[in-house]
Amino acid sequence: MENVIRLSHGAGGRMMNDLIREVFATPLDNPILRQMADASACNLQSANLQFAISTDSFVINPLFFPGGDIGSLSVHGTVNDVAMAGARPLWLTAGFILEEGLEMGVLERVVRSMGEAARAAGVQVVAGDTKVVERGHGDGIYINTAGFGVVREGVHVGPQEARAGDVVLLSGTVGDHGIAVLSQREGLRFETDLLSDSAALNGLVEALLDVAPHTHCLRDPTRGGLAAVLNELAAASNVGVEIEEAAVPVRPAVAAACEMLGFDPFTVANEGKLVAFVPSGEAQAALAALRAHPLGQDAARIGTVVAEHAGLVLARTAIGGRRVVDMPLGELLPRIC
Amino acid sequence: MSLESILAQFRDPDAARALAAAIRTRSTRPARLMEFCGGHTHAILRFGIPSLLPETVDLRSGPGCPVCVTAAGDLDRAIALAQVPDVILTTFGDMIRVPGSRLSLAQAKAQGADVRVVYSPLDALRIAQETPARPVIFLGVGFETTAPMVASTVLAAEAAGVRNFTVFSTHKLTPPATRAILAAGEVALDGIIGPGHVTTVIGAAAWRFLPQEYAIPCAIAGFEPLDLLRAILSLVEMVEQGRADVTNTYARSVRLEGNAPALAALERVFEVADVEWRGFGVVPASGLALREAYARFDAARAFPVDVPPAKELPGCRCGEVLRGVLLPTECALFARVCTPQNPTGPCMVSAEGACAAYYRYGERI
């Protein structure tokens, strides 16, 4: 096996076959993928089912960060998107765009990590694709994963489903992923023990829906953070959201980094948290179920859905004042003075 | 001690409630207070302080957003500098999205200019040292807080014998702008919340002209909610007593005489100049230009660029917002045409801009 990626690894010939066999096949192995067909036919038990399909591309820099890497992240991100539809994720596809010159060892680490993440989440990678781009035209590895799952019977979650009176639950601390990744960036490196929260949330969603089957909205606050998700749900459902700033769990290291850099932890990315809008009657059981799960120990009730100020998210601040929580703009830039 | 436990001292909800209650009890007559500093505007709105205050207290944002008060002509010149062949123009992130008369730096960058965001002027100097064949210009924007860092960087460049590093200085001084607002008399102010970071450098004594010449009290404030509430209470008490003084509610950072080494670096590299402010026109003795002795670090002298006369941004009322005459929400463009995603004027672009703060944290119902 070569020790770096070359353009011919994506050219469809023997080298690509070697790459598939030697790097991808074993870590991602399962009976469906093993057939190596152009498309995989997957069996479902019943025809009367609702499906959830999602796709996501991963272009993270650096490839390896405290608490995860692009491989595990590409599984968690798509598994979570499917789970947020109230679905059980079953199958993933994986498309790789590799940069010529990438060290084979790096790719192997990433694929191993993907395989472990998929097994832990109980999903199978059933189809894949590899392309190689010329040196300088990529960032080492880009991964696209698509996910397919089956919606739980009787569950109707969706961004338009929030109702006044719903309780807003958050499964844990916010901002861990964004700050952990930022701490590794060139030009911005700072010392922290913080780990990304990257995790597959399908198990947590199962636990939640077992006791709160009438949950109205589920979202994982990735890019844009908690603020973006709350704004999206408020707008899609045409309701207002009111949260207690002090009730939102934030790790001290995240709070400190945000103070230094001028960020609002509510706008920093997460990869292993969910927000649930749950009818008040099921809220207590839902919170208990989240807290009983290893990925939801710090879960908290952070606010409520109201009929007033539709589309707007308001926060009661730590000192008892009131402010708008706005949709974040995009790229986070450290403040200048 | 962790940063969190330090911050907790300045965000204690019980102490905040007690201060807010004291303000409500003490305030009987209207008090229109201007927070000079854009950082204060953001902190005030981020912590929801207006919702804790009585109706008698009217907070007005001032011109303390360096990006916002940069004159359109200066921005046009900076963009022209960025377009000089081989030049690397370095700047703080906030600056690159501000619309100039024709382009923003971001658009110039998209057209091929080499514009780089840095976090410190020292990063710009490092880029100059790493690329000795290309001229590196640092766009110096900011008040007395930022200018000493730029002065120190010029001194470091001189010490290291760096020949390809220059500064385009649009640095500005805060007391002259405050004086301009009071002298114009467009908005009647009862007190000034003094800028904490600026005053850390220039010293609380620099604000004595407010009580002495204008009979207006000034309270220097930090950037935590309790700092701001204490400063507001101090101003309300002085307004109620008909007393004008300079009080320092940010004594953990601000001294009467300021920061001597920072002032010395400023004095050595810069001289006071008449400069143009957006919304104000030319304000006498309100800016910092490089001294003759440091002329070789002056981008304006090293790269003379001709720019057509600056054009005002149609419909934009940032000038009035910066003078405290207009609240952001009173501008017809606010949140309708002008948003952080699609800003018409600089006050909606900058993280310290009043319009951005009102948009981000204020009520928009």
Mind listing the pLDDT tens digit of every residue in chain B (365 residues)?
A: 566 677 778 888 899 999 999 999 999 999 999 999 999 999 999 999 999 999 999 999 999 999 999 999 999 999 999 999 999 999 988 888 888 899 899 999 989 999 999 989 999 999 999 999 999 999 999 999 999 999 999 999 999 999 999 999 999 999 999 999 999 999 999 999 999 999 999 999 999 999 999 999 999 999 999 999 999 999 999 999 999 999 999 999 999 999 999 999 999 999 999 999 999 999 999 999 999 999 999 999 999 999 999 987 888 999 999 999 999 999 999 989 998 878 899 999 887 899 999 998 886 54
B364 neighbourhood in chain A, CB within 8 Å: 312, 324
For B2, the closest of A246, A252, A312 (CB atoms) is: A252
Q: What pLDDT is recorded for position B105?
A: 93
Which chain A residue has the Cα nearest residue B49?
Answer: A321
Q: Which residue of A has its CA nearest to B361?
A: A324
Euclidean distance between CA atoms A164 and A310, whole angstroms: 10
Structure tokens at A118: 């998929």
Closest partner CB to A309 (pick from B4, B226, B365)? B365
Q: Over 80: is that where the pLDDT of A2 sits?
A: no
Output the average pLDDT for chain A. Answer: 90
Shortest CB distance from B4 goes to which of A188, A255, A312? A255
Among A173, A241, A323, A325, pick the best mutation site for testing chain B contact (most B Cβ within 10 A): A323
Task: Give the pairing of strands B165-169 and A322-324.
Answer: unpaired
Which chain B residues are within 8 Å of A188, Cβ to Cβ?
Answer: 119
Task: Classify residue B205 by its DSSP letter.
Answer: G
Alpha carbons within 13 angstroms on the beta-carbon side of residue A197 total 30
| CB pair distance less than 8 Å for B341 and A259 | no
**A252 at the B interface (CB within 8 A)?**
yes
Contact A319 B351 (CB under 8 A): no
Q: With beta carbons less than 8 A apart as the criterion, state whether A70 and A87 touch.
A: no
Domains of chain A: 7-151 (3.30.1330.10), 167-324 (3.90.650.10)
The chain A residue lying nearest B47, using CA atoms, is A317
Give the H or E element holding residue A101.
none
What pLDDT, in 10s, does the model give residues A181-212?
888 875 666 677 889 999 999 999 999 999 99
Among all residues of chain A, which has the CA nearest to that of B365?
A309
Predicted pLDDT of residue A37: 67
Q: How far is A291 from chain B (nearest CA, A)?
A: 25
Q: What residues of A are in contact with residue B359 (Cβ under 8 Å)? A: 326
Residue among B51, B145, B340 minimizing CB distance to A321 = B51
**Section A123-149 average pLDDT:** 94
What's the whole-number mean pLDDT along residues A108-119? Answer: 97
Higher pLDDT, A29 or A36: A29
> HSE-up of B60 (CA within 13 Å, CB side)?
25
Share of chain A above pLDDT 90, in %: 66
Q: Find residue B33's DSSP bridge partners.
A: B59, B191
Instruction: Please tell me the CATH code under which domain B68-173+259-301 is placed.
Output: 3.40.50.11740
Task: Average the pLDDT over A252-276 and give the result.
Answer: 90
Q: How far apart are CA B198 and CA B204, in angstroms?
A: 9
Measured CA to CA, the distance from residue A169 to residue A223 in angstroms comes to: 19
Partnered with residue A125 across adjacent β-strands are A92
Contacts of A309 in chain B (CB under 8 A): 365
Q: What is the DSSP string of A140-164?
A: SEEEEEEEEEEEPTT----TT---T
Q: How far is CA A3 from CA A7, A15, A100, B131, in A?
A: 13, 12, 11, 33
Tokens, residue A51? 């499906």
The domain spans of chain B are: 9-61+174-248, 68-173+259-301, 318-361
**pLDDT on residue A12:** 67
- List, in order, residues 6 or more apart from B74 with CB less than 8 Å away: B170, B276
pLDDT tens string A83-98: 999 999 999 999 999 9
Alpha-helical runs (H) found in B256-311:
260-269, 299-302
**CB within 8 Å: A320 and B17:** yes
pLDDT at A336: 38
Please determine, for residue A326, whether its predicted confidence score (pLDDT) is greater than 90: no
Which residue in B135, B70, B121 sits closest to B97, CA to CA?
Answer: B70
Which of B250, B235, B324 has its CA nearest to residue B27?
B235
Contact call for A321 and B47, based on CB within 8 A: yes
Contact by Cβ (8 Å): B193, B34: yes
Higher pLDDT, A32 or B203: B203
Cβ pair A336:B364 closer than 8 A: no
Chain A residues inside the 8 Å CB shell of B6: none
pLDDT tens by residue, A217-248: 999 999 889 999 999 999 999 999 999 999 99
Order of strands, sheet of A124-133, starting from the edge strand that comes earlier in the sequence: A51-58, A141-151, A87-99, A124-133
Distance from CA of B316 to the nearest CA of A (A): 21
Q: Do A317 and B47 touch (CB under 8 A)?
A: yes
Q: By the CB < 8 Å criterion, does A319 face chain B?
A: yes
Which chain A residues have a beta carbon less than 8 Å from that of B7? 255, 259
pLDDT of amino acid B285: 97
Of A264, A323, A337, the CB nearest to B48: A323
Contact B351 A336 (CB under 8 A): yes
Higher pLDDT, A2 or A333: A2
Task: List, in sequence order, every residue forming a beta bridge with A54; answer none if it has no partner.
Answer: A147
Predicted local distance difference test score (pLDDT) of residue B93: 82
A193 touching B, CB under 8 A? no
Nearest-by-CA chain A residue for B94: A336
A256 touches chain B (CB under 8 A): yes
Give the CA dihedral A26, A31, A34, A38, nearest 10 degrees: -130
Q: Residues of B at the A interface (Cβ-Cβ below 8 Å)?
A: 2-4, 7, 11-13, 16-17, 20, 39, 45-52, 66, 92-94, 117, 119, 123, 142-143, 145-146, 197, 225-226, 340-341, 351-352, 359-365
Per the model's pLDDT, the better-predicted residue between B74 and A11 turns out to be B74
For residue B15, give the amino acid letter: A
Task: Report, at the CATH architecture level, how domain B9-61+174-248 is classified.
Answer: 3-Layer(aba) Sandwich (3.40)
- Buried b or exposed e, range A287-326, using 16+ CB within 10 angstroms: bebbbebebbebbbbbbbbbeebeebbbbbbbbbbbbbbb
Q: How many residues does chain B have?
A: 365
* Contact (Cβ atoms closer than 8 angstroms) between residue B206 and residue B212: no
The CA distance from B246 to B212, in Å, is 10
Identify the band that residue A51 occupies on the pLDDT scale cut at 50, 70 and 90.
confident
A39 touches chain B (CB under 8 A): no
